[in-house]
Amino acid sequence: MLCACGGGTAVSESHLDRLDTVVTTMQHAPPPKVVDVDVVALQYALDDPNPGTRQDTIERLGDLATDEAVRGLERALLDFDPDVRAAAIDELADIPGDASAYALSIALWNDDAEVREDVIDALAEVGSVVAIGLLEQSLSDDDAHLREVAAEYLAEIAGATLFDATAWPRRSKLAFAV
């Protein structure tokens, strides 16, 4: 059977059925992923030669708190300017979830103990399962102070004090970390 559509074009019923199927499928499909133009522009701004501009960019990426923004913040952790890296750590600390924890893991192996301590503090704020795993890895840090800080955060997260051996199942790891 043929159907006449606008301007005299003939369309078969099977074509109309297929078109109906496509329309129905599209109505139930998730919307296409749209790249946030602001995030793309901000990621380009991370290449600005002025560290102040890069820090402002990091703050704006932190405000967006999207996966794309986290990727930009992760990139900023590798910046040559220590203030820019510190700003990225601060912003990632405010974004809960595993993506932030994975991003912070880059700086957890920094040679500077102060940077590692900032990352440990940030991981405690993120509080995801991945963050807890990274805090556990920090129990083997070369710096005794950082092992103690990580142990205290883990004990706090577990709802126990550092010396409450009955409340924390990994008590042996915590006890030997300090």
Tokens of 86: 């510190």
For residues 111 and 115, give the distance between their C-alpha atoms in angstroms, rounded to a whole number.
8
For residues 65 and 58, give the distance between their C-alpha atoms in angstroms, rounded to a whole number.
11
Q: What is the pLDDT of residue 169?
A: 41
Q: Identify the CA nearest to 122 among candidates 142, 94, 144.
A: 94
For residues 142 and 7, give the distance between their C-alpha atoms in angstroms, rounded to a whole number.
79
Tokens of 109: 């192996």
Return the domain boundaries, the chain: 38-95, 120-178
Q: What is the pLDDT of residue 40?
A: 85
The whole-chain average pLDDT of the chain stands at 81
- Start-to-end Cα distance in the chain: 82
Q: What is the pLDDT of residues 35-71, one digit of tens each?
A: 566 788 898 999 999 999 999 999 999 999 999 999 9
Q: How confident is the model at residue 127 (pLDDT cuts 50, 70, 90)?
A: confident
| CATH of 38-95 among 3.40.1800.10, 1.25.10.10, 1.20.1280.50, 1.10.10.10 | 1.25.10.10
Query: What 3-state DSSP class applies to 163?
Result: coil
Residue 92's identity, in one-letter code, is L
Cα dist. 57→44, 90, 120, 123 in Å?
9, 13, 23, 22
Asked if 172 and 143 count as a contact pair (C-beta separation under 8 A), the reply is no
Q: Given a cut of 80, is residue 178 above it in pLDDT?
A: no
Who has greater pLDDT, 174 or 125? 125
The helix (H) or strand (E) run that includes residue 63 is helix 51-64
Asked if 61 and 93 count as a contact pair (C-beta separation under 8 A), the reply is no
The helix (H) or strand (E) run that includes residue 9 is strand 9-12
> What number is the average pLDDT over the span 93-104?
95
Who has greater pLDDT, 78 or 173? 78
Question: Which of 33-42, 75-84, 87-96, 114-123 shows the lowest per-residue confidence on average (mean pLDDT)?
Answer: 33-42
